[in-house]
Amino acid sequence: MNKLSVLFMATALAAAGGLAVAQSQIVDEGVTITDRSDMGHGAHGAAASDSPAVQAYMAANDRMHAGMAVEFSGDADVDFMRSMIPHHQGAIDMARVVLGHGEDPQIRALAEDVIAAQEGEIAMMREWLAARGQ
């Protein structure tokens, strides 16, 4: 698999994680879904948002979106690289949540692969930006 395919797969994984967190906050009939204790999620009927994993995902998502709020330069390449660094860091942070809270060996292995790939790509992006005085 080429490097670009890995980049697209990792980006899709990060986006899916962000969408899952966003979906958990959808308001239905004036009640936030994560506020419902009758959904059967979490220990002893606690709301899903009380889960340490959900809290960690939400924090990672917030950091990622804050970091992606870059001041655009008008150079599409530079702006892409500046935005993708926090996006990739968000994927790393979400993967670390899986390693801290997840149990499925296949997902944990994927999380480890995501961390390795994203860290390498972040290093490449920083080098690319530095070579251009950014």
Please determine, for residue 101, whether its predicted confidence score (pLDDT) is greater than 90: yes
Residue spans of the domains in the chain: they are: 50-129
Q: What is the pTM of this model?
A: 0.64
Taking only the tens place, the pLDDT of each residue in 57-94 is 999 999 999 999 999 999 999 999 999 999 999 999 99
33 in Cβ contact with 39 (< 8 Å): yes
- What are the beta bridge partners of residue 31? 28
Give the C-alpha separation, 44 to 48, whole Å: 11
8-state DSSP, 134: -
Distance of CA 113 to the CA centre of its chain: 14
Query: What value does the mean pLDDT take over residues 37-61?
Result: 70
